[in-house]
Copies of this chain bind each other. A is one copy, B any other.
Amino acid sequence: MIQRIHHIAIVVADLDAAIATYQGQLGLRVSKRLHMPEQEVEMAFLPAGESLIELIQPITDDSGVARYLRKRGEGLHHICLAVDDIDASLEALAANAVRLINDQPIQAAEGRGLFIHPQAAHGVLIELLEPDEET
């Protein structure tokens, strides 16, 4: 069911500053940058092997990501695991009565995904994602 780590998401207060850090200190490179007003975030993707590091900056004050930043500060937000069939994953999770954030897969920047509630995964927000072809 799980193919690989698709991305690790990091919430940051200042995307430009975070990009400068991750590029300058670690030699990573930004492959894509997205302004996503409907999700109230701006994001940058930095490839590391078959995975991405995703830097996420809230661009409004009242989104979930904005509240997370205010409450916990900058840092690791969630991990995303690539699956080959998100509908089959949803079915398996539902059969096990696993608590989800969203009842149906949602369209994310990189494909169709769903989020497992941290209380069902030992404190970790886990996204399962069926990536679009190009991601």
Segment 51-105 of A: residues with Cβ below 8 Å from B: 51, 53, 55, 73-76, 79, 81-82, 92-93, 96, 98
A27 CB-CB contact with B under 8 Å: yes
- Distance between Cα atoms of A53 and B126 in the complex (Å): 12
Copy total for this chain: 2
Which of the residues B4, B22, B122 comes within 8 Å of A48, measured between beta carbons? B4
CB distance from A9 to the nearest CB of B (A): 10
Segment 16-65 of A: residues with Cβ below 8 Å from B: 17-18, 21-22, 24-28, 48-51, 53, 55
> What are 25 residue pairs bridging A and B, where the CB atoms are less than 8 Å apart in the complex?
A2-B26, A2-B27, A2-B28, A2-B49, A4-B48, A4-B50, A5-B5, A5-B49, A5-B51, A8-B79, A10-B122, A11-B123, A12-B123, A18-B122, A21-B121, A21-B122, A24-B96, A25-B96, A27-B92, A49-B50, A53-B79, A73-B123, A75-B124, A76-B76, A76-B79
